[in-house]
């Protein structure tokens, strides 16, 4: 067993607190990604698990044993850093095998294991070279191979792909996932890249300013972000966020310019009239080519520019004075300043408290038959 229990962990540098009472469990064999912007405390938390940073408060237990006072080598973890930390005077093979050599593994066995792991990360042709003769991406692969060869119970990854080119990052993500499936080792991966996080994680831990904002499966975090911070951070692009106001009867919301959208009232039992933040996913919006807005509701928008994706485009536009992004398949025929009609389904609205930034509580209510008085048709071409 290699479960990691993190209980009310804090970290101070002098009087400055950088980690605030972090509390969660990483299950045995689970791949958890700690995600957040620079300075949010994610790498500090990882280093406390590894034993490279002292814990100011709380406890960390690995496989049931509290390791607060244990040396890094006593914790059963292998760590891959953002920087390579290789021995410049050793060959690639010697760097990879160094941990095994220290542990007293026979030379013949070391050679076999080095060959196997080097092939996995595409280094089998570079085993005799020194780190100074390798590219940055190759050196990072050496560092990963050095951790992989130990086959530890716990893997700790501190932004290991950030120095790699785009193609190699995709390849290494696949290799890391395959490694995890093969070894079943408990893995903690720190990154600021939400694409890496979404593709690798069994569960995400989203951090902001030393506090956990949300924990959950990638799809759950994407579909139902717990706060406006998570909403804006998760997704490519993040959630479109617009200021709005709930009507006195709770059946609609008004944007800053007076445009109205209907609300499924049964979905928000605690919803009160007043200001909110409206969230709309780019892929939940659609550009209507005609004036059929009357039955399903739409929003007026002004086209700004398009971002080419190859398989589609991101349309950048303005709705009620706020910038929004709309995902479309194919190509658009619009020019800067063109007026658009954007289709919006009541089921795709996400609401957040405008003061706290937290998601407004909702229930999975059936979609009602929307009557005319609960739908507000707005035609951008009018």
Residue with tokens 């717990």: 226
The number of distinct structural domains making up the chain is 2
Same domain for 142 and 45, yes or no, is yes
The percentage of the chain sitting over the pLDDT mark of 90, rounded to a whole number, equals 58
Asked if residue 380 is part of any domain, the answer here is no
Same domain for 197 and 64, yes or no, is yes
pLDDT (tens digit, 9 = 90+) per residue, 314-346? 999 999 999 999 999 888 888 899 999 999 888
- Token code pair at residue 21: 């009472």
Residue 229 C-beta-side C-alpha neighbours within 13 Å: 16
pLDDT bin (cut points 50, 70, 90) of residue 250 is: confident
Asked if residue 381 is part of any domain, the answer here is no
Same domain for 211 and 254, yes or no, is no
Asked if residue 53 is part of any domain, the answer here is yes
Same domain for 157 and 189, yes or no, is yes
Q: What pLDDT sits at residue 42?
A: 95
pLDDT bin (cut points 50, 70, 90) of residue 374 is: very low
Q: Look at 238 and 378; give whichever has higher pLDDT.
A: 238
Least Cα distance to 196 among 36, 30, 49 occurs for 36
Same domain for 132 and 246, yes or no, is no
Same domain for 151 and 281, yes or no, is no
pLDDT bin (cut points 50, 70, 90) of residue 172 is: confident
Asked if residue 233 is part of any domain, the answer here is no
Same domain for 17 and 98, yes or no, is yes
CB-based contacts of 376: which residues, under 8 Å, 6+ apart? 252, 259, 260, 261, 262, 297
Res 136 pLDDT > 70: yes
Same domain for 279 and 181, yes or no, is no
pLDDT (tens digit, 9 = 90+) per residue, 23-63? 999 999 999 999 999 999 999 999 999 999 999 999 999 99
Question: What's 51's domain CATH number?
Answer: 3.40.50.300
Within 10 angstroms of residue 285's Cβ, the number of other Cβ atoms is: 25
Same domain for 205 and 250, yes or no, is no
Local structure of residue 183 (DSSP, 8 states): H
Region 192-220: mean pLDDT is 94
Res 231 pLDDT > 90: yes
Domain boundaries, position 127: 4-228
Asked if residue 254 is part of any domain, the answer here is yes
Q: Look at 195 and 27; give whichever has higher pLDDT.
A: 27
Asked if residue 302 is part of any domain, the answer here is yes
The last residue of one of the domains, among 202, 228, 254, is 228
pLDDT (tens digit, 9 = 90+) per residue, 269-303? 888 999 999 999 999 998 886 544 444 468 999 99
Same domain for 288 and 211, yes or no, is no
Q: What pLDDT sits at residue 294?
A: 40
Asked if residue 234 is part of any domain, the answer here is no
Question: What's 264's domain CATH number?
Answer: 2.40.50.140
**Burial (CB count within 10 angstroms: exposed 0-12, middle 13-18, buried 19+), residue 209:** middle
Q: What pLDDT sits at residue 240?
A: 96
Distance CA 217, CA 183 (A): 21
Asked if residue 124 is part of any domain, the answer here is yes
Local structure of residue 297 (DSSP, 8 states): -
Distance CA 249, CA 252 (A): 8
């Amino acid at each position: 067993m290699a479960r990691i229990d993190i209980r009310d962990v804090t970290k101070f540098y002098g009087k400055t607190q950088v980690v605030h009472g972090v509390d969660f469990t990483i299950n045995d064999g689970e791949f958890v990604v700690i995600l957040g912007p620079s300075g949010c405390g994610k790498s500090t938390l990882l280093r406390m698990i590894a034993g490279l940073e002292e814990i100011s408060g709380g406890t960390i237990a690995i496989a049931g044993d509290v390791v607060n006072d244990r040396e890094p080598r006593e914790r059963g973890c292998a760590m891959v850093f953002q920087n390579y930390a290789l021995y410049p005077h050793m060959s690639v093979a010697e760097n990879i095998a160094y941990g095994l050599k220290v542990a007293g593994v026979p030379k013949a066995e070391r050679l076999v294991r080095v060959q196997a792991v080097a092939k996995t990360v595409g280094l089998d042709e570079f085993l005799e070279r020194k780190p100074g003769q390798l590219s940055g991406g190759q050196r990072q692969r050496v560092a990963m191979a050095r951790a992989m060869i130990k086959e530890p119970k716990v893997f700790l990854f501190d932004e290991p792909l950030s120095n790699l080119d785009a193609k190699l990052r995709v390849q290494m993500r696949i290799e890391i996932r395959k490694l995890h499936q093969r070894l079943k080792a408990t893995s903690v991966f720190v990154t600021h890249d939400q694409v890496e996080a979404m593709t690798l994680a069994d569960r995400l831990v989203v951090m902001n300013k030393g506090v956990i904002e949300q924990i959950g499966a990638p799809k759950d975090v994407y579909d139902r972000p717990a706060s406006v911070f998570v909403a804006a951070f998760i997704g490519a692009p993040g959630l479109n966020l617009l200021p709005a106001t709930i009507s006195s009867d709770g059946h609609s919301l008004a944007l800053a310019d007076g445009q109205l959208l209907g609300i499924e009232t049964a979905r928000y039992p605690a919803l009160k009239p007043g200001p909110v933040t409206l969230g709309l996913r780019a892929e939940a919006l659609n550009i209507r080519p005609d004036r059929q807005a009357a039955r399903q509701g739409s929003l007026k928008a002004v086209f700004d520019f398009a971002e080419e994706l190859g398989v589609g485009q991101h349309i950048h536009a303005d709705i009620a004075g706020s910038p929004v992004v709309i995902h479309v398949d194919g190509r658009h025929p619009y020019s800067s300043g063109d007026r658009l009609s954007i289709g919006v389904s009541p089921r795709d609205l996400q609401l957040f408290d405008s003061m706290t930034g937290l998601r407004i509580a909702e229930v999975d209510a059936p979609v009602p038959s929307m009557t005319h008085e609960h739908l507000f048709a707005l035609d951008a071409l009018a």
